[in-house]
Amino acid sequence: MEAKKGMWVEIENTVLTPEERAPHLPEDTKRVPLKMWVRGFLIDEQARIGDEVMIKTLTDRLVKGTLVEVNPRHIHDFGNCVEELLISGYNVKKELSEVVKGAGDNE
């Protein structure tokens, strides 16, 4: 997809290569680069995915990186259901309801 100047885009940058990472990190962490993803408005006239571009963030920072997405979505997820929490929450709600009901009986 082609992006034009002013479009909302996401870029990727490598902050540290595996060789530059701290020695005290776990092995699986040390083996991969530390990357960052930044969103902002494209400064370049046009670009394609994979091009090196400059963006301006919502805080007016200018950041250079590789274009990875045009009009990126906000995707939030709380992960898979934790059955224990689901059951605990239900039980606590039920117990609180009984406590509140019992307090009303004493008045």
How many domains does the structure of the chain reveal?
A: 1
Q: Per residue of the chain (107 residues), what is the pLDDT tens digit?
A: 899 999 999 999 999 999 999 999 999 999 999 999 999 999 999 999 999 999 999 999 999 999 999 999 988 888 999 999 999 999 999 999 999 988 877 66
**pLDDT for the residue numbered 107:** 63
Which residues form the domain of 19? 2-105
Q: Pairing state of beta strands 46-48 and 62-70?
A: unpaired
| Burial track 53-82 (b if 16+ CB lie within 10 A, e otherwise) | bebeeeeeeebebebebbeeeeeeeeeeee
**pLDDT for the residue numbered 103:** 81
C-alpha span between 16 and 39 (Å, rounded): 19
**pLDDT for the residue numbered 106:** 66
Q: What is the pTM of this model?
A: 0.69
**pLDDT for the residue numbered 74:** 86
